[in-house]
Amino acid sequence: MRGLYPAIEPHASGHLTVGDDQEIYWETSGNPDGKPVVFVHGGPGGGTSGEQRRFFDPDRYRIVLFDQRGCGRSRPHIEDLAGSSASGTRRPGADLSTNNTQALIGDMEKLREHLGIRRWQVFGGSWGSTLGLAYAQAHPDRVSELVLRGIFLLRRAEIDWYYNGGAAHLFPDEWEHYLAPIPEAERDGDLVQAYHRLLTGADREAARHAASAWTRWENRTSYLRPQSDSSPDPRFDLAFATIENHYFVNHGFLDDGQLLADIGKIAHIPGVIVQGRYDVVCPMRSAWDLHRAWPQAELHIVDDAGHASFEPGIVDRLVAATDQFAAAGDTPGGNR
């Protein structure tokens, strides 16, 4: 099976002012004259890491990574926003009023223009597949190909499955940890809303505890075979959980089923869908529904994988897809 490409370092990076007092972190690596690709990270709120550069042949790709609003190395970080307000008083949670799907699509366009890229390949998994699809449907003329993994269409049924009890049947032990921060009287209700109250409430210690439990639930259920515990990172957990929950409370700022309804806007764009059969976070039904609506895209089902992008079978199919599009050559109008 194909593995990841060797680790590389960025040759350029910076912060781009995108409006709303936001600056997004970006970096480029690989071949400066290569085929442009943008990596759209998950979460929302997850941020990027150097390992994500390795899905692409550095000799053939100009690799763009960026951190979405409020997370990673973008500024201000959500934890900073949880501090003092303009009036000097402490405020609960973070100012998420300008953090929405439409704003992120706009940020991607500003970044593309800033880097002088006419069209780029869009590569994303989980929430990255959601934002990748939304961006492509808003700007189909700016997308050369789509490589999507662990499909999340942000339909209400998908959120309820994973955050309101469906997946608990497979992970009852981990579900107890997920429930722990929620008062017993609220555990039979909408848990996404209950977490929202904790994550944005005035008790910041309770918010951090809730963020840790929310993030643990995702980490412990993402792989087919459980992984060893990683060191806790309260700063990451707070951004990941708070931003993700904010989007889910607001239904992703999309109409239910919108990404499928608008699939005709991107039917002409070459695409590859990679899906772990035993993905609990984003079950295969969503990938299947997307493929049925968009049959032009190749669907690769990995029979021995869950949700995570770094499972061996998922890596194999993702790298095969990026190699395939690199071998086909750049479409007209990549780098200006």
Question: Would you state the structure tokens that stand for residue 257, as one six-digit string?
Answer: 């089923």
Rounded Cα gap, residues 218 and 216, in angstroms = 5
CA 160, 164, 165, 167 torsion-angle sign: positive
| Centroid of chain to Cα 192 | 18
Rounded Cα gap, residues 89 and 3, in angstroms = 50
Q: How far is CA 304 from CA 231, 278, 320, in A?
A: 26, 7, 17
* Helix%, strand%, coil% for the chain, nearest 5: 40, 20, 40
Rounded Cα gap, residues 147 and 160, in angstroms = 26
Contacts of 225 (CB under 8 A, 6+ apart): none
Strands in 12-19's sheet, in edge-to-edge order, are 12-19, 22-30, 61-66, 35-40, 120-126, 143-151, 271-276, 298-302
CB 335, CB 310: distance < 8 Å: no
Burial class (CB in 10 A: 0-12, 13-18, 19+), 211: buried
Question: What angle (nearest 5°) sits at the alpha carbon of residue 62, between those of residues 61 and 66?
Answer: 125
Contacts of 140 (CB under 8 A, 6+ apart): 265, 266, 268, 269
Alpha carbons within 13 angstroms on the beta-carbon side of residue 264 total 1
Contacts of 295 (CB under 8 A, 6+ apart): none
What positions carry a catalytic annotation?
126, 279, 307
